[in-house]
Amino acid sequence: MIEHDEFGPEKIVEVYDPKTKMHGFLVIDNTVLGPGKGGIRMTPDFSKEENFRLARVMTWKCALAELPFGGAKSGIIANTKKITKNEKKAIIEAFSKALKPVCPSKYVAAPDMYTGEEEMKWFAEANGSMEACTGKPKELGGIPHELGSTGFGVFNSTLVAAKHYGLDLKNSTVAIQGFGNVGGFVAKFLSEVGAKIISVSDSKGCLNAPDGINIDKLLRIKKETGSVVNYSEKTVKSRDMHPSQVFKCDMIFEKQVDILIPAAIADVINKNNVDRVDAKIIVEAANIPIPHDIENILYERDVLIVPDFVANAGGVISSYVEYINGTPERMFKLVEEKIKKNTKLVLEKAKKEKMNPREAALEIAKKRIRKKTVV
């Protein structure tokens, strides 16, 4: 159930197009700081409730990153693996046209799960405005998320968290759940500073290598074959798992590691597997990968958690740089500056005031929105 409070949501839109069978949602949560910013995801089980939760994360994320954006999120109920490219294009175009009354004045879209720069091109062209979204192809003035801005931000957040914890990243062990555009880049950057990636997963299964994974080799195999399971014969493939395990592959949460990075979908660490989590630090690369009450359980066990809207803000910072016609070089510099600054700010506040890092981050984000509201 969607609950309203002083921050929002301001507008909930549900649209359907009989011709393309496009069924989508948009939640504009808060526009105090600027137009609502949030990606478009395409999944077969998307819901208004999930949409709202993700939009609220964007409200906090933009406020904490001190960007002139509010929070929003949109999604389309669709199984992208069962539709053609032309069908997907028609659905995106229908969705864009349906959102014209609020986009780009109140909502600026971006890529998310199963959407990328090509989908943003379709969206902008159907909307009639290049300002309707970010994450567009370079030739349209975009800074594609495929450059790895979110993963680069998570990497920098992990650097700060490890230092705060007193952990030497060199030879530290890392497990990454989700090896897509975010998880792949996190693995690349962490391996380059000497961290040992021992376990990764994607929708096809899990890869475990106690002696460490050759990330350059794995990235090549993932690109060529579509999955991490083709790295070795010793992997667990999705056909060997219960259907509910796809994307989750709970085995990865049982690994004894220094750092665990959930980088796929929501609620993957929950009441059913929280007792098997065995990590010192969790950096949330995905949005809402752990329900808040479960985070509290881990906090009581002295697991250091960097909340999603602190760690994974690299994507929306990149969107801002594109929005102001900046360059990729400017984007990477700003992502590093803002992510490091805010991760340090949140963790130090949490430690000083003996509070969950999420509570500390929320206090900072809410204060910034309230300050703007009363000006």
Give yes or no for a contact between 91 and 343, defined as CB atoms under 8 angstroms apart: no
Query: How would you class 301 by CB atoms within 10 Å of its CB: exposed for 0-12, middle for 13-18, buried for 19 or more?
Result: exposed
Tokens 């999944």 belong to residue:
43
Residue 73 bears catalytic tag? yes
* Cβ neighbours of residue 238 closer than 8 Å, sequence gap 6 or more: 203, 204, 205, 229, 245, 246, 249
Query: Can you say whether the dihedral through the CA atoms of 175, 177, 179, 181 is positive or negative?
Result: negative
3-state DSSP assignment of residue 200: strand
Query: In degrees, to the nearest 5, what angle opens at C-alpha 263 toward C-alphas 49 and 234?
Result: 125
CA distance 175 to 291: 20
E strands, the chain, in order: 11-17, 22-30, 36-37, 40-43, 70-77, 107-108, 173-177, 196-202, 205-208, 236-237, 256-262, 278-283, 304-306
Given 37, 73, 204, 248, which residue is catalytic?
Answer: 73
User: Which two structure tokens, joined as six digits, stand for 188?
Assistant: 């690349």
Other CB atoms within a 10 A radius of the CB of residue 375 amount to: 6
First to last CA, the chain: 32
Give yes or no for a contact between 263 and 242, defined as CB atoms under 8 angstroms apart: no
CA distance 234 to 366: 47
In angstroms, the Cα distances linking 80 to 19, 44, 87, 239 are: 17, 8, 9, 20
Beta-bridged to residue 42, according to DSSP, are 76
Tokens 């990606």 belong to residue:
39
How many CA atoms within 13 Å lie on the side-chain side of 286? Answer: 25
Catalytic residue ranges: 73
